[in-house]
Structure 1
Amino acid sequence: MSNIDKETQGRINQWLTKDYDSETVAEAQRLIDENQETELIDSFYKELEFGTGGLRGIMGIGSNRMNKYTIGKATQGFANYLKKQFPGQSIKVAVSYDSRNNSQSFGHLVADVFSANGIHVYLFEQLRPTPMLSFAVRHFGCQGGVMLTASHNPKEYNGYKAYGSDGGQLAAPHDKNVITEVYAIQSVSEIKFDRDEANISIVKEDFDQIYIDANKNLSIHPEAVTAQRDLKIVFSPIHGTGIIVPKVLEAWGFTNINLVEEQSKPDGNFPTVVYPNPEEQEAMSMAVKRGQELDADVVMATDPDADRVGVAVKNHKGEFQLLNGNQIGSLLTYYVLSAKKGKGELTNSNFVVKTIVTTNLISDIATSFSVDSYEVLTGFKYIGEIMTNLEGKATYLVGGEESYGFLVGDLVRDKDAVNSCAFIAEMTAYFKSQGKSLFDVLQDLYTNYGFYHEKLISLTKKGKAGADEIKQMMADLRANPPQSLGGIAVKEIRDYQNSQAHVVATQESSAIDLPKSDVLQFITVDGDVISARPSGTEPKIKFYCSVKENLNSKADYESTLAVLETKVQRIMADIVKD
């Protein structure tokens, strides 16, 4: 097999030794015997790394796959780091898992390794959402945590989200320090796999109520829920851990919750969808159909680990329309800030957070309420990091990212679709009491702040060849940056990898005060924002475009949308080269 380099071959040879179990060795040998060169390269050409969402990959054998040994090695490295970071202390971690195939067994494996290292583990008895893991880290006073999930990825994937003592996903320098400890492990014999039952406490179902009660206390307008208790809600967990959402909605006082029964059972094969991702129209289709049948007020669906939520509402034509992540985030921001102001609870120490590829409408709304708005890199761990850094100095209210992840209040340090569903329902009830739908409010925002229109194009590039292609695409954009996009001149280029913002006309440069990240942004003279970034959790390169026009009245909505969509298409045609 001539295309396998020496380093990759060395990893393959290592996995053929007696250090690995017989099933693993047999599978590696089968790939060799069948001359599965591409599969061997993709499985062994590198070691899995922590990205924006931690460790994530296709399940199978190999150093670049999710399996007993890569998960064991990551956990041993994490355990080693925690012992160095908290010397002489009694260390505790929380561990949970979602509905994916192997998530439960991987979760128990992680608990085994931590316990064998003398670390006390709070292990969830049953699958539970990612935000509940973040909540548990804080509730039990843990120094770390692990969630076994690949979020919204296809069924072939699984993942490992690592958390720090603040309940947030590991951010710099901890993420890199942990992976350094992982790389320092030279042999699987260094991994302690033997479970120590004395170091494991089981988190039972009664913990749900603690989390539910804490969230209920965040409600801003409980009287609106009481007045609209029979609000027609359709919900789907898309075969995942969102099965807890109806319990939360009931606790808030909603009585008319309609579950999409076909998707209500946790199932790692996700039999009713192609991708279990509420960003996708196909994944939302069953919930939307149910909403149409019931003439629902709001339709919601969560991904397998319940940290992302998709929403559909009736538009001005009475048709159900999917809201994108920018629209959901903007509505939540406006609702929280306006509701807090109405209650006299808004202060000059409040703040909101969004990512660099999320709509600037959120910043505009915050400014109008005299609330600070922070901008961070893509990945909710950076939002959590801001929350932790400002704890005790300022109060976080709401934040989110265009990829359908939001959080209201500071109970956790990760995006929380359970919390978001409750607030989306409350928001719907509040505005319904005022005679408005969520779509009405969205149009009001566009009229008051400007009509923002965004589009995302993702190109999937699998395996080592795909990773190399994505790297080359970013290199080409840096070497030959576009001078215009869609016929509109580029005013500024922001390269987050080099931490430099460059003004095209004057050749002036300034520093970007954010961690380095492989992201390029092009700002046009019209104020359009076009971004390019490789995904940290999927084999994709993503292109984002945000444009804006004035909306003089709701009557101009359709015509203005058409202008914006045409502009987006022209811009994307210039930058997206597949």
Structure 2
Amino acid sequence: MEIDKSILDKVNVWLTPVFDNETHTSLQEMMASSPKELEDSFYKNLEFGTGGMRGIMGPGTNRINKYTLGKATQGLSDYLKKSFPSEELKVAIAYDCRHNSDTLAKTVADVFSANGIKVFLFSDLRPTPELSFAVKHLSCHAGIVLTASHNPPEYNGYKVYWQDGGQLVPPQDKEVIDVIEALEYGQINFNANENLIEYIGEVMDNAFIRSSLINASFNTPQEAKDALKIVYTPLHGTSVTLIPDLLEDAGYSNVNIVAEQAKPDGDFPTVKSPNPEEPEALSMAIALADEVNADIVIGTDPDSDRLGVAVRNGNGIMTLLNGNQTMVLMTHFLLEQWKKQGKIDGKQFVGSTIVSTPMMMELASAYGVECKVGLTGFKWIAKMIKDFPEQEFIGGGEESFGFMVGDAVRDKDAVTSTLLLCEIAAQAKANASSLYQELLKLFVEFGFYKEYLISITKKGMEGAAEINNMMIQMREKPLTEINGQRVLMVEDYKASTAKNLLNGEEETLTLPKSDVLIYYLEDGTKICARPSGTEPKIKFYFSVNAPLDDVTNFKAVEASLDKKIKNITEEMNLV
């Protein structure tokens, strides 16, 4: 294939002496044998999405490498100096188990130190939530974690945190990006000042564990803890550095770790995808749970911010819960504990997102607590805490298997959430119940909400264009009826409009602009379309609901909701 001139112009810049010989060699090989790969490596610059900057590793502007990360770090260094001109600047850096994460983290530390900024660098891999905690604990101005979360092995990423321990949000995000984009690669200062780099580890681990114990322990009797049988897998990731110690310190001794997945490994050899959202990822853990007759399975993704959960259903069979279900269980438990302690006085809130279950609103309302709803991504929930200091944050989550307990960590936190789920499960079992039964009780009390996700992958430049065209079509030809139900409202977060299709009236949405469409149907169904901010995917979220008068009718009502989802997805040509 013929390579576009605009691509070749970018490649030629990367063949100058600013870039090392290894980069030159890789690019020359791609030019000769892989023009398609070369095009994908340079057709755009890596962008900051819902979870920071994430991409395939390799040379090029659309790849994760020492130069794209070096440029981002140089820009962030310049921005920090401008933002805090009279302060001694400090940053914290962590990294996960992925290939090159340790060397890329050191490169980032080198650039910060070369710019006169004090660096606290973790001496070995650590979970992302510990980085968020460390930023606040060490009074840093910013933080970086090198991770691609649950993406495939060829990916890595770069997430930026601000003083509050939350990820960059407006206006800082755009301001930082503008500084980065204005830089030339030759302006990156890679000459480290080793005197400004301090390695951290065990002391910070202990502080984080203490914080998790404070936030997620709720007077569970020791005999209840002893009776709970747990299977845990880190899926070859970072959580193995903290979760076993946390559970032991909390008094949970009956913990069975999946041995084959206990060692950190960036190839993730035992799973197709190290994503707890994927049922296959927990198959080995479920097999071990059946072998030891465990009550609960918990698996965390490589950087330990997401967790997947399986529990025994009414027939004793291990059943996977989705992110909305675990979020509802944890939120209800926290609300109930705060109520028992007399801590709810109308000044508290929980957090959720526009693509998560509407059941969160029902829970919050029942306890006289506000439910704030933001865009997808935990940076928006962290921003809620910062924007409303007069209110207390109880907890919050999103459908993509993330949850945050209290405000010590300002990002989704599978470490603390693991302990919280064990507390809920242990207390339920002690009361002759289970997590599964507790969930059914919530459906009876607040309504049976059933969610479903379809994720369509479209890789490369053509894939990005295809996803964009799908969104354009849905905007230009909006659906007015789905599965025999009228569409009452369409929210377009890119246009910041909420249009009532019955009377034509429009309202302005107050959340920041985002490429998201949400349909609300007259029977309470909610359908959302959203291109991923970190992966080459477009996601469709479905939420349907119905009353559940008694747990004995669960299967029948679930079957009717499943049929409704099937009809909707078929009508929308998504299956």
TM-score by length of 1: 0.98
1:413 to 2:410 alignment: yes
Map of 1:560 onto structure 2: 557
Map of 2:22 onto structure 1: 23
Partner of residue 123 from structure 1, selected from 121, 133, 151: 121
Map of 2:190 onto structure 1: 193
Q: Residue 181 of structure 1: CA displacement?
A: 1.0
Map of 1:493 onto structure 2: 490
Q: Do 1:220 and 1:340's aligned partners in 2 also have CA atoms closer than 8 Å?
A: no
Q: Residue 505 of structure 1: CA displacement?
A: 0.9
Mapping 1:395-544, distance limit 5 Å: 395-544=392-541
Q: Residue 150 of structure 1: CA displacement?
A: 0.2
Q: Secondary structure at the match of 1:229?
A: helix
Q: May I ask how many residue pairs the two structures share in their alignment?
A: 574
Q: 1:458-503: CA deviations, max 9, x gaps? A: 0000011100100000000000011111221111100000110000
Map of 2:286 onto structure 1: 288
Q: Do 2:238 and 2:264's aligned partners in 1 also have CA atoms closer than 8 Å?
A: yes
Q: What letter is aligned with 2:194? A: E
Map of 1:313 onto structure 2: 311
Map of 1:325 onto structure 2: 323
Q: Residue 206 of structure 1: CA displacement?
A: 2.6
Q: Residue 37 of structure 1: CA displacement?
A: 2.2
Q: Distance in 1 between matches of 2:435 and 2:483?
A: 32
Q: Secondary structure at the match of 1:254?
A: coil
Partner of residue 158 from structure 1, selected from 153, 156, 169: 156
CA RMSD of aligned residues (A): 1.1
Partner of residue 278 from structure 1, selected from 276, 286, 294: 276
Q: 1:364-404: CA deviations, max 9, x gaps? A: 0111011110000001100000011122x011011000000
Q: 1:384 to 1:26 in 2, by over 3 A?
A: same
Q: Distance in 1 between matches of 2:411 and 2:83?
A: 22
Q: 1:111 to 1:510 in 2, by over 3 A?
A: same
Q: Distance in 2 between matches of 1:577 and 1:562?
A: 20
Q: Distance in 1 between matches of 2:226 and 2:388?
A: 36
Q: Distance in 1 between matches of 2:435 and 2:455?
A: 28
Q: Do 1:224 and 1:426's aligned partners in 2 also have CA atoms closer than 8 Å?
A: no
Q: Do 1:454 and 1:547's aligned partners in 2 also have CA atoms closer than 8 Å?
A: yes
Q: 1:479-533: CA deviations, max 9, x gaps? A: 0011111221111100000110000010000011100000000000111100000
Q: Do 2:120 and 2:199's aligned partners in 1 also have CA atoms closer than 8 Å?
A: yes
Q: Distance in 2 between matches of 1:332 and 1:477?
A: 35
Q: 1:473 to 1:235 in 2, by over 3 A?
A: same
Between 8-17 and 119-128, the greater mean CA deviation after superposition: 8-17
- Percent of aligned positions with the same letter in both sequences? 48
Q: 1:576 to 1:519 in 2, by over 3 A?
A: farther
Q: What letter is aligned with 2:296? A: V
Q: 1:151-203: CA deviations, max 9, x gaps? A: 000111000000111100101111111111111112x2210111111111111
Q: Distance in 1 between matches of 2:13 and 2:477?
A: 42
Q: Do 1:48 and 1:64's aligned partners in 2 also have CA atoms closer than 8 Å?
A: yes
Q: Do 1:121 and 1:201's aligned partners in 2 also have CA atoms closer than 8 Å?
A: yes
Q: Secondary structure at the match of 2:221?
A: helix
Q: Which runs of 4+ in 1 moved over 3 A?
A: 223-227
Q: Residue 218 of structure 1: CA displacement?
A: 1.8
Q: What letter is aligned with 2:7? A: T
Q: Secondary structure at the match of 1:311?
A: strand
1:394 to 2:391 alignment: yes
Q: 1:225 to 1:357 in 2, by over 3 A?
A: farther
Map of 1:87 onto structure 2: 85
Q: Residue 363 of structure 1: CA displacement?
A: 1.2
Map of 2:377 onto structure 1: 379
Q: What letter is aligned with 2:466? A: E
Q: Distance in 2 between matches of 1:116 and 1:26?
A: 27
Q: Residue 434 of structure 1: CA displacement?
A: 1.5
TM-score by length of 2: 0.98
Q: 1:577 to 1:281 in 2, by over 3 A?
A: closer
Q: Residue 251 of structure 1: CA displacement?
A: 1.0
Q: Distance in 1 between matches of 2:358 and 2:221?
A: 29
Q: What letter is aligned with 2:130? A: M
Q: Secondary structure at the match of 2:215?
A: coil
Q: Distance in 2 between matches of 1:5 and 1:423?
A: 53
Q: Distance in 1 between matches of 2:327 and 2:221?
A: 21
Q: Do 2:458 and 2:537's aligned partners in 1 also have CA atoms closer than 8 Å?
A: yes
Partner of residue 62 from structure 1, selected from 60, 63, 69: 60
Q: Residue 220 of structure 1: CA displacement?
A: 4.5
Q: Do 2:224 and 2:429's aligned partners in 1 also have CA atoms closer than 8 Å?
A: no
Q: Do 1:543 and 1:576's aligned partners in 2 also have CA atoms closer than 8 Å?
A: no
Q: 1:516-561: CA deviations, max 9, x gaps? A: 0000000001111000000001000000000001111111111111
Q: Secondary structure at the match of 1:223?
A: coil
Between 339-348 and 486-495, the greater mean CA deviation after superposition: 339-348
Consecutive unaligned residues of structure 2, counting only runs of 5 or more, are none
Between 252-261 and 336-345, the greater mean CA deviation after superposition: 336-345
Q: 1:8-44: CA deviations, max 9, x gaps? A: 221111111121111100110111112x222111100
Q: Secondary structure at the match of 2:49?
A: coil
Q: 1:38-97: CA deviations, max 9, x gaps? A: 211110001101111111000111100001111111111111111111112111000000
Q: Secondary structure at the match of 2:453?
A: strand
Q: Distance in 2 between matches of 1:422 and 1:390?
A: 27
